[in-house]
């Protein structure tokens, strides 16, 4: 069974419980999943109950698909995601995005918690991703192309939709704060980067580094979905400050900025 047939089977399972057709999708990163608590009229599924989904193993990722209304807008949210460092192939990592596409999602908002490389940024800042660096030397589109989803050689000149980035900045301004704007570098994990690696990544032009988002963005763009990426900068990357890094710090800072993050996401969704 190829991944299109698998995605169709997962889609059919979800559709057997609901006729709702969300046009907007959310992928919620480490410590950012609480926004689903504000959704109403929800239908939700555990990842492991959906055909060809598996349970995520990373702390802060509950592993649920939630369909419902947020700020009066119908959305589908992934509370949790899969990561390459968990040992999953990239077709597994990006599988939920394929299913969301079949469910009718046209616009996807990808969020993550990550480290800041740009020294003018601070922990607790939110950054709009304007482009990315794929430093993993892998791509979820490698292998036989699935023509039902998109072309063999997709354009990558605007993975992160400019009009959505503009909306994000406008909504933040309405809420009384500013967003950072920058390039996100994808690192495999689970080890945090070394100081030398961070120096290299900065020279290459990245403003932040994390362990997710890029494969999902590539697959979404392949299917002609509009993509918005928002990073919660939870720490300064290795070597910038004289302190060690920990996942607990990531979760704590994400929790501190959760109100700002949720207000921003709700404003963006309403504006769409």
Active site residues: 30, 61, 83, 85-86, 113, 211-212, 235, 247
> CA-CA distances (angstroms) from residue 164 to 135, 158, 206, 261, 265?
25, 11, 20, 16, 12
- Indicate the SS3 state at residue 176: coil
- Distance set, CA 54 to CA 2, 35, 118, 163 (Å): 17, 22, 35, 34
The distance from CA 125 to its chain's CA centroid, rounded to whole angstroms, is 17
Nearest 5°: the CA angle 128, 130, 132 is: 110
Q: Report which secondary-structure segment, H or E, holds 120.
A: none
With tokens 């969301």, the residue in question is: 100
d(CA 208, CA 193): 12
- Phi and psi (nearest 5°) for 182? -170, 180
Q: Are 182 and 208 in contact (CB under 8 A)?
A: yes
Helices 258-271, 162-175: inter-axial angle, 10-degree rounding: 120
Pick from 119, 132, 155: nearest CA to 228: 132
Residue 208's φ and ψ, nearest 5 degrees, are -155, 160
């Amino acid at each position: 069974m190829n991944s299109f047939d698998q995605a169709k089977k997962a889609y059919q399972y979800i559709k057997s419980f609901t006729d709702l057709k969300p046009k907007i999708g959310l992928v919620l990163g480490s410590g950012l999943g609480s926004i689903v608590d504000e959704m109403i009229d929800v239908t939700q599924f555990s990842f492991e109950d959906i055909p060809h989904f598996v349970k995520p193993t990373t702390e802060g990722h509950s592993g649920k698909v939630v369909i419902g209304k947020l700020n009066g807008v119908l959305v589908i949210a992934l509370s949790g995601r899969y990561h390459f460092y968990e040992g999953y192939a990239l077709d597994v990592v990006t599988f939920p995005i394929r299913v969301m596409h079949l469910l009718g999602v046209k616009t996807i908002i990808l969020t993550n918690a990550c480290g800041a490389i740009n020294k003018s940024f601070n922990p607790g800042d939110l950054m709009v991703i304007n482009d990315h660096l794929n430093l993993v030397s892998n791509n979820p589109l490698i292998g036989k192309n699935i023509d039902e989803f998109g072309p063999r050689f997709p354009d990558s000149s605007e993975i992160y939709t400019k009009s959505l980035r503009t909306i994000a900045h406008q909504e933040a301004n309405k809420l009384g704060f500013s967003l950072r704007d920058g390039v996100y570098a994808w690192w495999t994990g689970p080890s945090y980067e070394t100081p030398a690696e961070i120096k290299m990544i900065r020279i290459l032009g990245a403003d932040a580094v994390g362990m997710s988002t890029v494969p999902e963005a590539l697959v979404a763009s392949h299917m002609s979905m509009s993509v918005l990426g928002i990073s919660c900068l939870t720490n300064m990357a290795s070597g910038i400050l004289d302190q060690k890094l920990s996942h607990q710090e990531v979760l704590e800072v994400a929790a501190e900025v959760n109100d700002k993050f949720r207000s921003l996401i709700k404003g963006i969704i309403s504006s769409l």
